[in-house]
A and B are shown apart, each in its own frame.
Chain A
Amino acid sequence: QQPVQSPQAVILREGEDAVINCSSSKALYSVHWYRQKHGEAPVFLMILLKGGEQKGHDKISASFNEKKQQSSLYLTASQLSYSGTYFCGTGSGSRLTFGEGTQLTVNP
C-alpha cells in the first residue's frame, strides 16, 4: 500500500524551515527519502532502518516513528538548491513503495 505524503506542495523563502511527513497503514521496516529535480534522477538522501532512528546531514534530517508508522523529513534554513520533489519510500521485504511526492519550491 502506497504511503501518504503531506503536504503535497510547499513554497518557502530561502532560509525558512519545512517538514514533510510520510505515513503508512502498514508496518514499516525501513524508510527511504529521495529528492528529484524536474527531468532528473531521484537522488538518495537517507535511509532509516529502526524505529526511533534519527539521521541527518547538513541541514536535512529525518526521524522514523515505527509505532506510529510514520517518518518526517526536516529541512532547516532552506537553500535554493533544496527545490525539487521529495519522495519517501517505505520498505517491506524486497520492494520499496514510494509516495506521490511533495513538491518543494524555495524562492529567493
Chain B
Amino acid sequence: NAGVMQNPRHLVRRRGQEARLRCSPMKGHSHVYWYRQLPEEGLKFMVYLQKENIIDESGMPKERFSAEFPKEGPSILRIQQVVRGDSAAYFCASSPPFGGGGSNQPQHFGDGTRLSIL
C-alpha cells in the first residue's frame, strides 16, 4: 500500500494517560500535516512538519501536545495527560517535496486514528 499509513486506527486511553499516534507518509513525500476532526465538523490544522523540522505549529495547543518527524521512521503526534476533550479523529496528510509544500500541493490523507478517552 503506497498511501499514507496511520496507526493505530482506534486508540482508547484513560484520562491522564499518554497517546501516541503514528503516521508514515506516502512514498516520496517529505511533508507531513496533522489535522484534528470532531464529529460532524471540519478538519482543523494542527502542525506541518518536514523531516527533522517543525515548519508551522500554529494550530497546536500550547500544552500537552507535541509532534515530531524524525530522520528515520514515522511522524509521531504525542498527547500527554489526555482529557475527555481530546477525543477526536486525528488525520495525517502528506505532500511531495517539490513546489515548496504547504498549501500549494495536494495533500493526501491517511485513514485517521480515532482517539477515545474514557
Contacts and interface: CB of A to CB of B under 8 A. Distances in A.
B97 interface: no
Interface stretch (B12-20, B37-45, B64-72, B80-88): B37-45
A54 interface: no
**Interface residues on chain B, size class:** 20 to 34
Contacts of A98: 35, 42-45
B111 A41 contact: yes
Interface residues of A, number: 26
Contacts, number: 68
A85 to B, nearest CB: 9
A97 interface: yes
Given A94-B55, A94-B101, A95-B58, A40 B42 contact: no
| SS class, residues of chain A in contact with chain B | strand
B109 A42 contact: yes
Nearest to A94: B102
Contacts of A2: 42
Interface of A: 2, 29-30, 32, 34, 40-44, 47, 49, 87, 89-101
